[in-house]
Structure 1
Amino acid sequence: MVFQATPEFAIKFTKLIALLGTSWPNYEGTPKWKLVIFQIRWWATFFLAITACMTMCYAAHNQYQNILNLTKSLFDISNTSQTFVKMFFCKVHYKRMRYLLHDMEKYVEKAELHERELFVKYIKRCGKLHLTVMGSGLLIIHIIILAPLALPQPFPNIADYPFSIDGHPTYELLYLHQSCATIHCLSIPAFDCQIALLLWYAGARLELLSDEFKNVTDDKQFAECVKKHQYLLWYIQEIAISSRGILAATGCTCVLTAISSGVHIVSNEPVPFKVPFMISWVIVSSTLYITSWPAENVLQMCEKVGMSLYESAWVQNSKELNSSIIFVMQRSQTPVTIEVPGILPVLSLRYFMMFLSRTFSYFTTLRVMLDKIDINMDIPLEEQILA
């Protein structure tokens, strides 16, 4: 493997990429100067994203009659808006997120050998996905920033300003602003990687608990397992509350990104112009998968707890605690879910597959419509020459 699959490495890697969005909270006892730097960095990147998004909205307003430029602007807006929206929700749930992450780190530090082995198994399962998404995001960021060197556009993104941009150093400063905003977009999957880390951890804890339920031998052990079960259900509920807004933003922007990028992917534009949209769409879709996968695992582990209790030899031969046993088994059949009524269905692999299915149906329908009505997409002459 190209990285060390340990719980400590997974946490450090997630902390590192969380710096892009200033989403990993400071724990109690952190020096005051670090808290000040954290606040400065948060507000600086927050206003960076908002101001960049405003220039893109202004460009979309000015070019609404050109479908290609309009969809490019919408594509940029959907990605840039994710950053400050997710930052806002992290700010709202700062204390809750701090407790969840700190509790996870404390448990990992004191984990026994068999627990660490299970954590390593989970890290090997999802680690490559996180590294691939972040690496691909870094690649597309470089392509977008350097695109003006080869394409007839002044800035990395489609942006307009209500003043002249031809002077110096005005142009250089605006280019730097757009480049920084583009780099900040790399934080989009970082937010979801942080949520996924908590979900994978919760799923691993439930799997460990299922083994404990299966091997329970007396009333005292059973009572301890019930306490752990109640705590883990509460812990998952706290994850759901703190991540609901972030994941809803991911779901909504995935749809908007698919709609706006689809126009370019299925159009007659030159292939070099399609590649950034194709890669970006894959990355955004993978971001949704990053959290759908561990959410599905949590649902399965909740059910596994009930099945493990049912298969326990002690429970099958026990004449006592029948009501408690039935309660735990019934509670395992109604796991905690992450959803936002009317916006985000229950987060799971089923939802992710539904998203992919409808996206590909949209691409196919759009391609058929373009072929049937034979619309002139008004491709600029410069793009035709480059093709």
Structure 2
Amino acid sequence: MVLLHQLDFSYMFVAIILKQMTPEKVITITRFSVALSFCWPLPMTSSRNQIFGYKVAQMFSIVNVNLLLLPCFYAIYLRSDDIEIVAKCISQSICQIQSIAQTVTCFCKHDTLQRIVDELWTCIREAERYEKEIFRIYIARCGRFYGAYVAVAYTMTILYLWGPLFLPIMHVVYAEYPFDVNRTSMTAVVRAHQIIVSHQCCAHLCVCVFGAFLIWFTAARFECLGVEIQRCTDIRMLAVCIEKQLRLRRYAQDVISCFRFMILFVIMTCSLVMTLCAILIITKTSLLVEFMFLLVAFFFLLYLYMYAWPADHMKDMSLSVSRSVYELKWYDETVRMQKDLLNVLVCQSPLKLSINFLVPELSLRYYCTYVSNALSMCTALRAILDKTVA
């Protein structure tokens, strides 16, 4: 009941804030939600020493998560006969491995992310009135969903971490250490470390909001460009728009390259978790373990949806430039202008978020197909195991 009240309060709080939300506030909230993940890059004006210190902090965060990941693996080894403990350790390990993978990706892509975020701030500051209105429409469309996700993620993490102080829960994180942790001082150190790592993992759960925000912003810029093209009256204005379009497509490719491997990790992990869910349900383990893995599977499906939704919309908006050109009064223009417009229409292609040889196109259609195939796989696995048991 307390948790439900917390969630309702968080959702109402987010809804009230979004009524007066601006792009600048959205950027600030997103940056603070992923601050502990060290995935948000430093500004372009940062000195070499600041960038070096930030990358050292990224490496330290990776080491810090590893210091809890290894005891989780050790607990799986020691308690392999207890399916409940093993299931909890596996679910914890998945979140920790995701944190490491995303930090490594952002460490390698720091310069690209730095350029992306710097251009983001530049576009927000120099946006015209109609562009700001389009940004507000996008915030109203999806801001409540992503804002509620962040609020729920941190609310549940806080309740989970501080639950042992008010509820009959003995362990925050299941882990085994190769030394004595029963002493008071050592117990305090271990518990503090587990709380810090759990907050890091929570910040990494919100990295999808960061990636989705950049994709939504790219889609909004395509829509703004479509409005600008409709205002073209001569070849010079059209040439400026085409140049902006080429730069915007390169910007979109940079965004896709930064989050492509994070999405691949989510797809692979989701497939693994759903397979484990099917096995646990068939083997009739405890309801707590089944619920835990179902919750983890639901989370990763939601995580993938938060990328698929904006990626699908970005593909549509990348084609809006062609529609904007077609909606011009090209029949009243000169022959040269008509030829240039025809070249623009011929050269257009949708911008897709894809992973070579693995994901041809991340979209809502792909997401529905993936969920359907995953459920079919679980059903087939259950049928195979039922025949084996029989």
**Once the two structures are aligned, what percentage of the paired residues are identical?**
22
Cα deviations across residues 323-348 of structure 1 (Å, max 9, x unaligned)? 5433322332x223222224444221
In the superposition, the TM-score normalised over structure 2's length comes to 0.84
Say what the alpha-carbon RMSD is for the aligned residues: 3.0
* 1:346 aligned to which of 351, 361, 366: 361
Question: For 2:140 and 2:47, how far apart are their aligned partners in 1?
Answer: 34
Deviation (angstroms), 1:137: 1.6
1:355 aligned partner, one-letter code: Y
Match of 1:381 in 2: none
Deviation (angstroms), 1:304: 1.8
Question: For 1:62 and 1:273, how far apart are their aligned partners in 2?
Answer: 18
Deviation (angstroms), 1:203: 0.5
Match of 1:55 in 2: 71
Match of 1:380 in 2: none
- Unmatched 5+ stretches in structure 2: 1-14
1:247 aligned partner, one-letter code: I
Closer/same/farther in 2, CA of residues 146 and 361 from structure 1, 3 Å limit: farther
Closer/same/farther in 2, CA of residues 254 and 151 from structure 1, 3 Å limit: farther
Closer/same/farther in 2, CA of residues 319 and 42 from structure 1, 3 Å limit: same
Aligned-partner SS, 2:248: helix
2:363 aligned partner, one-letter code: S
Question: For 1:266 and 1:11, how far apart are their aligned partners in 2?
Answer: 45
Deviation (angstroms), 1:175: 2.4
1:258 aligned partner, one-letter code: M
When the two structures are aligned, how many residues end up with a matched partner? 373
* 2:98 aligned to which of 82, 105, 110: 82
Are the aligned partners of 2:260 and 2:355 in contact in 1 as well (CA < 8 Å)?
yes
Deviation (angstroms), 1:166: 2.8
State yes or no: 1:309 paired with 2:325: yes
Match of 1:336 in 2: 351
State yes or no: 1:38 paired with 2:44: no
Are the aligned partners of 2:34 and 2:210 in contact in 1 as well (CA < 8 Å)?
yes
Aligned-partner SS, 1:357: helix
Match of 1:361 in 2: 376
Deviation (angstroms), 1:288: 1.4
Are the aligned partners of 2:354 and 2:362 in contact in 1 as well (CA < 8 Å)?
yes
Are the aligned partners of 1:140 and 1:280 in contact in 2 as well (CA < 8 Å)?
no
Aligned-partner SS, 2:111: helix
- Unmatched 5+ stretches in structure 1: 376-387
Matches within 5 A, 1:167-186: 167-186=183-202
State yes or no: 1:2 paired with 2:16: yes
Deviation (angstroms), 1:286: 1.9
Matches within 5 A, 1:195-274: 195-261=211-277, 268=284
Deviation (angstroms), 1:365: 5.2
Aligned-partner SS, 1:185: helix
1:237 aligned partner, one-letter code: Q
Match of 1:287 in 2: 303
Closer/same/farther in 2, CA of residues 249 and 81 from structure 1, 3 Å limit: same
In the superposition, the TM-score normalised over structure 1's length comes to 0.85
Closer/same/farther in 2, CA of residues 355 and 71 from structure 1, 3 Å limit: farther
* 1:11 aligned to which of 27, 35, 59: 27
Q: 1 or 2 for the larger relative contact order (CA 8 Å, sep ≥6)? A: 1
Question: For 1:261 and 1:132, how far apart are their aligned partners in 2?
Answer: 26
Aligned-partner SS, 2:127: coil
Question: For 2:150 and 2:379, how far apart are their aligned partners in 1?
Answer: 29
Deviation (angstroms), 1:312: 1.3
